[in-house]
Amino acid sequence: MASVSLSSRLNKAVRQQYMSLPQGERVQVTYIWIDGSGEGLRNKTRTLDVEPQTIDDIPEWNFDGSSTYQAEGSNSDMYLVPVRMFRDPFTKDPNKLVLCEVLKYNRLPAETNHRMSCNKVMEEIKEHIIWFGMEQEYTLLGIDGHPYSWPTNGFPRPQGPYYCGVGADKCFGRDIVECHYKACLYAGVNIYGSNAEVMPSQWEYQVGPCEGIEMGDQLWVSRFLLHRVCEDFGVLATLDPKPMTGNWNGAGCHTNVSTKQMREEGGLEFIEQAIEKLGKRHKEHIRMYDPNGGKDNVRRLTGRHETASINDFSAGVANRAASIRIPRQVGQEKKGYFEDRRPSANCDPYAVTKVIAYTCLLHSEDREESEEENIPAM
């Protein structure tokens, strides 16, 4: 039996007794932010006297950055600047979740705040109406770090029957997946779908299409909801791009990209132009596609298990072993979108969408080197 947390075994009927109490006109607002690891999420809650109607109704707040890998104790106050508001599926209406940017004491962005620079790029290319869709893969673990429902001493059957499977011997943790899906819908996350993945206990959900900066906002909040739902069930969701060594698939965050020109008749020409540009900056993109400068993806992008080699750039129609896949339907219709299969499951979506937008729509060989490096920097 998978190891679950003791907290998940608390009496939920008692909890519901308190959760059903009226709260009058006052509202709970949970502030969410990315910590200094670039992967972890933090949150804390405050009371507002009235329900906020827009993001402007939610005040800035602060937190102790020395406890989140973001500051030293001698100068630890960090600013939380609300940027996007969602409904709270855990405490329900009228309560809110609010995603925040983190600023340092001097109001410059924290080192892991890539949203601000991403938004600058998205504003610069706004006329292209760029859409993104990101496919978030993750793996369920017990709190002992062992894949959920895997044999305690051994391994499940080899990969084959699990992808989009059904049945107690093929799908592990579906309750979590379905609760997360409903939580996303309630919150207002633009979740597109979900499915069981190739490795047992591995799942995927898709968010999008989202325009510009909204992609990163939506994906980060969907991740918060995933971790929060898993907490209630007493298990973990890891975004590690290769959680199990050996003959098991890794976990990515495939990123689908489409501009207005790509969606119009003859758009395949612009897709091919974008792919050519991406090929010329492969190394720069690999550096941006996981939070550790490409080191995490080394374990995943091996040229096996539906990946291309991290050292080579490739593209092809309906080819899941390529860096860039053009869906078969897009190849037939000569318009649509392309899929970048390189980003890791634990990537920062702001960093990924920023560098894709920059490379495809802003980069040119005659740009100043300093300007080029400033735009996509981690």
The predicted structure's pLDDT at residue 364: 76
Please give the distance of CA 185 from its chain centroid, rounded to a whole number.
16
Coil/strand/helix, residue 59: coil
Pick left, alpha or beta for residue 293 (phi over 0 → left; psi -120 to 50 → alpha; otherwise beta).
left
Nearest to 334 by CA among 263, 274, 275: 263
Nearest to 172 by CA among 12, 305, 8, 1: 1
Does the pTM exceed 0.85? yes
The predicted structure's pLDDT at residue 355: 98
Q: Virtual CA dihedral for 375, 291, 209, 332, nearest 10 degrees?
A: 90
Instruction: List, as own/partner pairs, every contact residues 23-29 make where C-beta atoms lie below 8 angstroms and the sequence separation is at least 24, other chains included.
Output: 25/49, 25/50, 25/51, 27/51, 27/52, 27/94, 27/95, 27/96, 28/88, 28/91, 28/95, 28/96, 29/58, 29/95, 29/96, 29/97, 29/98
The predicted structure's pLDDT at residue 2: 66
Give me the residue label for tokens 């005659």: 366
Q: Helix, strand, coil shares of the chain as percentages rounded to 5?
A: 30, 25, 45
Kindly report, residue by residue over 166-217, the tens digit of the pLDDT: 999 999 999 999 999 999 999 999 999 999 999 999 999 999 999 999 999 9
Question: 117 Cβ partners below 8 Å, 6+ apart?
Answer: 109, 350, 354, 375, 377
Pair 163, 212: CB distance under 8 Å: no
- Digit-by-digit pLDDT tens for the chain (378 residues) are 568 999 999 999 999 999 999 999 999 999 999 999 999 999 999 999 999 999 999 999 999 999 999 988 778 899 999 999 999 999 999 999 999 999 999 999 999 999 999 999 999 999 999 999 999 999 999 999 999 999 988 899 999 999 999 999 999 999 999 999 999 999 999 999 999 999 999 999 999 999 999 999 999 999 999 999 999 999 999 999 999 999 999 999 999 999 999 999 999 999 999 999 999 999 999 999 999 999 999 999 999 998 999 999 999 998 888 999 999 999 999 999 999 999 999 999 999 999 999 999 998 765 534 344 443 444
Pair 119, 101: CB distance under 8 Å: no
Q: Biggest alpha carbon distance in the chain?
A: 65
The predicted structure's pLDDT at residue 319: 86
Cis bond upstream, residue 243 (ω within 30): no
Kindly report, residue by residue over 91-114, the tens digit of the pLDDT: 999 999 999 999 999 999 999 999
The predicted structure's pLDDT at residue 175: 97
H/E segment holding residue 306: none
